[in-house]
Amino acid sequence: MIEKWANLLLEWASAKCVIAINIAELLRTPPFDIQRELLEAAINYLVKVGQAKKRGRGFIILYWRSPEEWAMKIYRWLKENFKEVFSIDDLIEAYDADFSSMPRDELEYCLKLLERAGLIAKLKRVKGFYKLIIPGVE
């Protein structure tokens, strides 16, 4: 039963584009207005299998997409929106993109993944900005 609630939570988060949420708020949100122990067991299950992370002040991060999937979604968005030079604030302000509601440190992690993959690079002379790299294009 816990696994079913956990799967329902991820499906709901995906449908609503919810990435970070407070557990107390979630308990007031149907269909999760259930016994706190049951919801926490479902969240603990998701943490155990790597699909959620507990944060301070009762917040949780729900990974209905893996960080690698988010990173590639960000990369595609950058290309589609011709963002050759960008900052993390540009991603946060991209209100049309579902990743814009990610916590800053999660976005930074996704950018590190893209950097390791050689798809973006930090600008050396401008702190906090990145350059988009498209393989095969100079």
CATH code of the domain containing 23: 1.10.10.10
- Total structural domains within the chain: 2
Would residue 55 count as lying in a domain? yes
Say if residue 116 is exposed, middle or buried (CB neighbours under 10 Å; 0-12, 13-18, 19+). Answer: exposed
CA distances in angstroms from 42 to 16, 49, 94, 103, 111, listed in the order given: 18, 11, 31, 22, 29
Domain final residue, candidates 62, 78, 101: 62
Domain final residue, candidates 22, 47, 62: 62
Would residue 82 count as lying in a domain? yes
- Looking at the structure, do residues 56 and 72 belong to the same domain, yes or no? no
Domain final residue, candidates 39, 62, 85: 62
**What are the pLDDT digits (tens) for 48-66?**
999 999 998 899 999 999 9
- Looking at the structure, do residues 56 and 110 belong to the same domain, yes or no? no
What is the span of the domain harbouring residue 100?
67-132
Which residue has 């557990």 as its token pair?
A: 23
- Looking at the structure, do residues 97 and 122 belong to the same domain, yes or no? yes
Instruction: Please provide residue 18's backbone torsions phi and psi, each rounded to the nearest 5 degrees.
Output: -95, 125
pLDDT band, residue 137 (cuts 50/70/90): low
pLDDT band, residue 138 (cuts 50/70/90): low
Which residue has 């990145």 as its token pair?
A: 130
Would residue 108 count as lying in a domain? yes
Q: Are 67 and 112 in contact (CB under 8 A)?
A: no
- Looking at the structure, do residues 58 and 71 belong to the same domain, yes or no? no
- Give the strand order in the sheet containing 85-87: 85-87, 129-132, 120-122
List Cβ neighbours of 106 (8 Å cut-off, separation of 6 or more): 19, 61, 67, 70
Tell me, what amino acid is at 119? L
Residue 126: the pLDDT is: 87
- Please give the angle made by the CA atoms of 105, 108 and 114, to the nearest 5 degrees: 150
- Looking at the structure, do residues 54 and 75 belong to the same domain, yes or no? no
Would residue 137 count as lying in a domain? no
